[in-house]
Structure 1
Amino acid sequence: MKLIELTQLFWNKQIHTLVSLFAFLVISVNYILPKINSKITIGVYSFLLILIVISGVIQNLEEIFREDKK
């Protein structure tokens, strides 16, 4: 599989993840974060968001390599 095809596949799969993360961020900034006062909670919250992003990227890469082997 060429690199261009690989990046196109990855980009197509990433769009869904990015759209859902953006919606989640908008909701959380508007509703959840104003109720949180402590910086520790905000740090934990941002750490969880980073973990969600990393796991989404890893899942997409696994799917791409599975499709590549077929």
Structure 2
Amino acid sequence: MNSKLTPHSLRHTHISLLAEAGVALEQNMVSLSHSDDQITKNVYLHVTKEMKKEASQKFLQLMRSL
């Protein structure tokens, strides 16, 4: 882990955790004062391990339901 925490790195972490918790993109945009969703998506939203795990579980459920 990078030992140099900055306000900007905490901002990235905050938004990624909100997205992981299911907070909508539009709400994250408001938190960041962004008017363009591409900035929010491309710069701030990161796929976390938990999000990857959840996607895998959803896919498994989908396949089992076929």
- TM-score band by shorter chain is 0.3 to 0.5
Find the structure with the greater CA-based Rg: 1
Q: What's the TM-score once normalised by structure 1's chain length?
A: 0.36
Q: What's the TM-score once normalised by structure 2's chain length?
A: 0.37
Which structure has greater helix proportion?
A: 1
